[in-house]
Chains A and B, each alone.
Chain A
Amino acid sequence: MAVTTHELEHAGGYAAPPRPSGWRRWTAPGWLRVLWVVPLSFILSALLVLGARAALGYETAGFGALNPFGDNFFEFGTVELQVLIVVWLVVVPLGFLAGIGGFDYWAYWISGRPSRPEDHSGHGARTWKDYFRVNTDHKVIGIQYLATTIFFFVGAGLMAMFMRAELAKPGMQFVDNNTFNGLFSVHASLMIFLFVIPAFAGLGNYVIPLMIGAPDMAFPRLNALSFWLLPIAGFIMLSSFVVPDGGAFSAGWTNYATLAVHQPVGNVFFQMAVQWAGASSIMTALNFLVTIITMRAPGMSFWRLPLLVWANFATSTLVVIATPFIAGSQFFILFDRVLHTNFFNPGEGGDVIAYQHIFWFYSHPAVYIMMLPGFGIASEVISVFARKPIFGYRLMALSLMAILILGFSVWAHHMFVSGMAPWLRIPMMVTTMLIAIPTGIKVFSWLATLWEGRIHFKTPMLFASGFVSMFVIGGLSGVYLGSIPVDIHASDTYFVVAHIHYVLFGGSLFTIFAGIYYWFPKMTGRMYNERLGKLHFWLTFIGFNVTFFPMHWLGLHGMPRRVSDYADRFGDLNFIISIASFFLGASTVVFIYNMVVSWRRGEPAPANPWRALTLEWQVSSPPPIFNFDEIPQVVGSPYEYGVRGARHAVMNGDRAEVPEREKVISD
């Protein structure tokens, strides 16, 4: 049999191809090429806009405005600046992607030059520098995702600290209204689009192919491209703070018409960033769907899939169906602003409420996009650390699918006081309440999984159990908000702020932490520091509750959300909340220190430190470059803890008699 590149790789005889030298370094994919392609696309697209405006006789500052030494440098009119920004935010990211090498393979293929199907030069990371290149290895991409999202998590968290500093006392102290509104808008946008959603995509990227016994994702190049769209979206959102003429977008992450249409030009940054982040989401989700449907190892039937894979399947379906709606809603706003359409202009027959329907048709399912992968991670972690099969596996999987379907029928519960068609409210309340049933099934099944277990409270388990209890609080406050009479009182107040943070911080963020600690040994080949992990958990858990629980009371008593100033009688409680939030912010330092130091100097991790049964733990830590030397044969459920002799899979052609459990552990 001929020796293939794959086998060479596995034999360790495969090295990265030599990097280009001399002037070719400037034309090869990478940061040097970005250095000249990005300014070039910036200038060319500006010339195009200015030229077109001059030719059509519109008001223009002329080409002189591009000359840094000219006397009218960058003095564009409001209208022209907005057009320029839209074109830049389309063209420059494409220039960046072309420069970094996101399109190289396709360009070869389209232009008829020989493509290189067996070229794995972009596969695997040999040095830290490889994490800054276009790489098609799902394990590298997973870590790229996680590092990027944690960067934006810290940024958005710091914005929350600024807000809490301003809110510590009534009156205005540190920032003006414009900055404050920008802070909470960008905070929410980054947390949602650049942290929670892609952090789950990153964990899934690393783990899903391993869990189903696949060598990689179905479309590795698409996978790389969808990662590189993310830093673009994040950079656009952050850079909106330095926009001359009005600063960051400040109409909230919901960006309601008609306020959004009348905002300064910074608002365009939100619309365009959402397009890039949304495109990234959709491509990744398609990739997950195809991978899960077509690349499962032999014997891996749907009823043998780990629940994280089920959760990812449901999430990806939600993303593919729902995300185009937020893209649409932001395009409508953009068209109203730039093309002077009247989608949301009531004076010209536009419908203001229509925006909210389109927006929430994505943004409610988005809550499940941010929640279901967390459910999956919690199921993995709880089963492994309780040393028990997951309770009611099939009902757990089916309730994920029930949430997926019901999730599309509840969007207007965000609009009970919006003045929408009154008849729509009761049906939306009923479907909203129904979602409590599959969610309840999940919570009760996790609790039943703990029952009669042998529970080891390692850091991932602490975060997973913290998640269950905090998520229950978020779920129950959701029942209050689902009841229309109570919602009429509580909507748009701090009660809602408390609710969403119990769901997205207590829910999503706790499971992201659980997932990162749980797979850290697999990803890095080193153990994290357990003591620091536990310290991180307790700081987070206490800080989180003291920060967000009192907000329920504030909201019910009359403090609206999204305000920089409030009635004096709320001063004391807000001061306590602010102190607790700084404490909570500081806990992140412990986390990052643990991650960085453990990755560099942690104890080497065994292949399977948690004695787990799922496939990713049956290979070395970190896994070989193509995951499995031989595709495993799946023979049973992934959660058969305590069942003597039960196996999930047969590895490496080991078709011998099923060995004793002890032997499996010592592998």
Chain B
Amino acid sequence: MVLVGVAVGGALALVAVLIPWLPEAGSTEAVKVDDVYWFVTIICIVIFALVAGVSVYSVWKFRAAPDDEDDGSPIHGHTGLEVVWTAVPAALVTAISIYSGIVLVQVEKIPADHRVIDVTAQQFAWSFEYPEAKITSGQLALPINQPVELKLSSKDVIHSFWVPEWRMKKDAVPGIASNVIVTPTKLGTFTVICTELCGLGHATMRAKALVLTQEGFDRWIQEQKDAAAAAGSVQGKTLFTQQCGTCHALADAGTTAEVGPNLDDALKGKSAEFIRESIVDPNKEIAPGFQPDVMPATFRESLSQQQLDSLVDYLLQTAAKG
């Protein structure tokens, strides 16, 4: 029996070690979370090996012949055993709880010196506002090895912010402030994934998360500022970058998102009426290859008449140029 148990346990341990069960850890928080994960895994392997060992052994050893009409031993219980399998799991889950509690406090501690970024979720896009630099972008950029607090809010329904490599996730809830603390430790491009069902475009609600060196980050901030300044008096371009660029690609505004149609192609030769209508009543005409109801129909209320005019003007000019 012990042999069967050890064999099952060994096989499970191999499965656990040989298959990469977790994506690479890209933050200091991820390392701590992974430690909890492996701690739980070791306990689970032992328990499952025990259960599987006893099951396999019983099937093999205590299987009755079809015509065997005898009964098994009339064992009604064993107080000692019952105490053991109440007390041991109790001790194990207490250990898991205490360890999890400690790690939870650690990963959620707000460091004294940290950057704050305001993250706004809406159907079906993310936008990231850097209050110090006074810029807003559809991409999240962070300097490596510096703690950051992402303050989450939502304009419409519940969304959830998740970057798998960082292991951190939190809902963005309308009417409630929530936050995520993270210190990225791996350079590269990651994906911000919305994990709370938020409507028809839920599967497409993604944004890029860039982890850059300090120099790279400074350069990125400057680029964003320059782009905003270049837009300058052109209110339409600023509006586009903030509100539309999270879903639509447009070369002139430097946006590359693919949730909605690429406007460099889609707006070619279109009239001002068409553009205006597409913004206030997006379901009226759907570009081929896209689905209705993905673009929010709320811009008719959220944009002022003057904002709408400048946006339409900007898009009309850009379309004519292209």
Interface residues of A (CB under 8 A from B): 176-178, 181, 250-252, 256, 258-259, 262, 346-347, 350-353, 386-389, 391-395, 417-419, 422, 425-426, 429-430, 433-434, 436-437, 440-441, 443-445, 447-448, 450-457, 465, 468-469, 472-473, 476, 479-480, 482-486, 488-489, 491-493, 552-553, 556-558, 560-567, 611, 640-643, 665
Contacts and interface: CB of A to CB of B under 8 A. Distances in A.
Given A393-B77, A433-B94, A453-B58, A483 B36 contact: yes
B203 A556 contact: no
A258 B197 contact: no
A584 to B, nearest CB: 22
Contacts of A351: 175
Nearest to A356: B158
A129 B44 CA distance: 52
23 contacts: A346-B174, A351-B175, A386-B62, A387-B70, A388-B75, A391-B76, A394-B77, A417-B171, A437-B86, A448-B78, A450-B54, A450-B55, A450-B58, A453-B72, A465-B59, A483-B96, A485-B32, A485-B167, A488-B33, A488-B168, A489-B167, A492-B196, A556-B164
Contacts of B94: 433
Q: Which 7 A-B pairs have the closest CB atoms?
A: A346-B175, A642-B71, A453-B72, A558-B164, A563-B203, A419-B178, A433-B93
Nearest to A346: B175
B62 A451 contact: yes
B97 A259 contact: no
A443 B77 CA distance: 14
B37 interface: yes
A661 to B, nearest CB: 9
B72 A484 contact: no
Contact of A417 (B47, B48, B89, B169): B169
Contacts of B64: 387, 453-456
A346 B104 CA distance: 28
Contacts of A429: 97, 100-101
A482 B94 CA distance: 12
A641 B71 contact: yes
Given A177-B203, A480-B37, A491 B74 contact: no
Nearest to A662: B69
B170 interface: yes
Nearest to A181: B200
A256 B170 contact: no
B294 interface: yes
Interface string B59-70: 100111010111
Interface of B: 19, 21-23, 32-33, 36-37, 40, 43-44, 47-48, 51-52, 54-55, 58-59, 62-64, 66, 68-78, 81-82, 85-86, 89-90, 93-94, 96-97, 100-101, 103-104, 107-108, 152, 156-158, 160, 162, 164, 167-176, 178, 191, 193-204, 291, 293-294
B76 to A, nearest CB: 5
B76 A486 contact: no
Nearest to B199: A259
Contact of B156 (A258, A440, A484, A642): A258
Q: Which of A456, A457, A492, A567 has the most CB of B within 10 A?
A: A492
Q: Which of A429, A476, A488 has the most CB of B within 10 A?
A: A488
B62 A447 contact: no
Contact of A440 (B63, B89, B97): B89
Nearest to B19: A553
B93 A437 contact: yes
B197 A181 contact: yes
Contacts of A566: 203
A426 B82 contact: no
Most buried by A among B73, B90, B156: B73
A560 B194 contact: yes
Contacts, number: 262
Given A452-B72, A483-B100, A352 B66 contact: no
Contacts of B81: 444, 448
B21 A455 contact: no
A488 B191 contact: no
Contacts of B107: 485, 488
Nearest to A665: B69
Given A256-B158, A393-B77, A489-B33, A476 B48 contact: yes
Contacts of A178: 200, 291, 293
Contact of B157 (A259, A394, A419): A259
B174 A485 contact: no
Contacts of B175: 346-347, 350-352
Contact of A447 (B58, B198, B199, B203): B58
Contacts of A552: 21
A256 B197 contact: yes
Contact of A484 (B73, B104, B157): B104
Given A388-B75, A483-B100, A484-B104, A565 B203 contact: yes
A216 to B, nearest CB: 33
A468 B202 contact: no
Given A387-B70, A437-B90, A488-B167, A452 B75 contact: yes
B39 to A, nearest CB: 9
A208 B75 CA distance: 26
Given A450-B55, A488-B169, 20 more contacts: A256-B197, A347-B175, A391-B78, A392-B76, A392-B78, A395-B77, A418-B158, A419-B176, A437-B93, A452-B62, A452-B72, A452-B75, A453-B72, A455-B59, A465-B55, A469-B52, A486-B37, A492-B195, A565-B204, A567-B191
Given A177-B291, A447-B55, A562 B202 contact: yes
A391 B52 contact: no
Contacts of A489: 33, 37, 164, 167-169
Contacts of B199: 259
A392 B82 contact: yes
A259 B28 CA distance: 34
Contacts of A447: 51, 54-55, 58
B201 to A, nearest CB: 7
Contacts of B196: 256, 492
Contact of A434 (B22, B48, B93, B201): B93
Contacts of B71: 387-388, 454, 641-642
Nearest to A422: B108
B40 A480 contact: yes
